[in-house]
Amino acid sequence: AVNDLAAQGADYIKISFEPGPGGWPILSFEEARTVTDAAHERGLQVIAHVEDASYLDQAIDSGVDIITHIGYRWQGERLFTDMSNLTPDSTPFSNYDGYDALITRMVEHVALIPTLDVLIGERALDSAPAVGMTEVVRRFHERGGLVAVGDDYPLGVTQPGIPFGEIEHLLAAGLTPLEVITAGTKNAALVCGHGDDLGTLEAGKLADLIIVEGDPLEDLEALRNLKLVMIDGQIAFDYR
């Protein structure tokens, strides 16, 4: 399957470590390791869908490069049911107090695409699930983990275009405006397998960029004031 996808021009390989909403097959460690080895031999990264934190160790051990989503369940049971005693030094995750060590393992081995917007959805931002998932990203980022913007479009509440919902959640998780922009450009290109072509303004890369009015390093709301879109160095949309 990996060979076939690579031959068709896939940018990366994605696998899942849980049954998912449609009864997906659960890969054994040996199967997942075979997938990652085959992908790496062909220069492709492997992204692992993990929403059940009990699979994080297996995903990391199998050699995946990127985790997408936040593990908000543990063996099927929901985590983050009570975050009332959260402190900077606590391990507050209600059903599984080893989660903090898993975050450190993730920092050492994988990049993270949190998709907080689709996972938090319509929940109140001060609700236990929202606080818990945001705290995972905060700790991952503070320990030096690579965070990339991704919103799981077209599922859930996400919309096409600049993912402002995800941006707001990442700001809440402690990323600075510059770090959020980096997560949505350089880091997003890296996890999509296009770090050599996109994501930064450098000689030899595609000049795909937007020009806005205002300073997004001071206020990311400036990204809403779109003035120009360039694709490969050519003006594609001009809103001036």
pLDDT at 48 over 60: yes
Task: Give me the mean pLDDT over the 122-150 stretch.
Answer: 93
CA distance to 152, 237, 238, per residue, from 231 (Å): 23, 9, 12
How does the average pLDDT of the chain come out, rounded? 91
Give percent of the chain above pLDDT 70: 94
Max CA pair span of the chain? 55
CA distances from 135 to 40, 54, 66 (A): 31, 18, 19
The pTM (predicted TM-score) of the whole model is 0.93
User: For residues 232 and 240, what is the distance between their CA atoms, to the nearest angstrom?
Assistant: 20
Rounded Cα distance, 134 and 102, in Å: 15
Of 181, 119, 103, the closest CA to residue 149 belongs to 181
Q: Enter the tokens of residue 223.
A: 């990204």
Least confident of 12-26, 92-106, 118-132, 198-212: 92-106
